[in-house]
């Protein structure tokens, strides 16, 4: 059974204090790893898709990387508007369903 574990559960950063969120996975036949951002009361918003180990993608202050066992979401010089829950999900085998981790709740303070 596909498993996704995210750490830490919660993270509090000061504005400008860079950090990384971890997503470790156990799947048979990874086809894609997805990062989403979810704000309170809203649905998940797509950030990145990574397909193979060694791949990296960047968007503004966020950078996602992928190895054979885990993915990292690096946040450089975060701002208060980056506060949200960050969700990691995997797609494996031939099914299109996403298996999600429980998320990292990020709070960025001034």
Partner 1 sequence: KAGVTQTPRYLIKTRGQQVTLSCSPISGHRSVSWYQQTPGQGLQFLFEYFSETQRNKGNFPGRFSGRQFSNSRSEMNVSTLELGDSALYLCASSLDGGVGNIQYFGAGTRLSVL
Q: Where do contacts with partner 1 occur on this chain (CB under 8 A)?
A: 31-32, 34, 36, 41-46, 49, 51, 87, 89, 91, 94-103
Identify which of residues 65 and 104 has a Cβ nearer to partner 1 in the complex. Answer: 104
Q: How far is the CB of 43 from partner 1 (least distance, A)?
A: 4
Identify which of residues 65 and 91 has a Cβ nearer to partner 1 in the complex. Answer: 91
Q: How far is the CB of 48 from partner 1 (least distance, A)?
A: 10
Q: How far is the CB of 27 from partner 1 (least distance, A)?
A: 12
Identify which of residues 15 and 58 has a Cβ nearer to partner 1 in the complex. Answer: 58
Long-range contacts of residues 5-9, Cβ cutoff 8 Å, at least 24 apart: 5/101, 6/86, 6/87, 6/88, 6/101, 6/102, 6/103, 6/104, 7/104, 8/104, 9/102, 9/103, 9/104, 9/105
Token output for 46:
């797509």
Contact of 7 with 70, CB cutoff 8 Å: no
């Amino acid at each position: 059974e596909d498993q996704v574990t995210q750490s830490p559960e919660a993270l509090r950063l000061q504005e400008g204090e860079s950090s990384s969120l971890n997503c470790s996975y156990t799947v048979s036949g990874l086809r894609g790893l997805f990062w989403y951002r979810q704000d309170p009361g809203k649905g998940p918003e797509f950030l990145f898709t990574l397909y193979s180990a060694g791949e990296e993608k960047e968007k503004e202050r966020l950078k996602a990387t992928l190895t054979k066992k885990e993915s990292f979401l690096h946040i450089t010089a975060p701002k208060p508007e980056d506060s949200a829950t960050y969700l990691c999900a995997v797609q494996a085998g031939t099914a299109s369903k996403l298996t999600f981790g429980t998320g990292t709740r990020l709070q960025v303070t001034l």
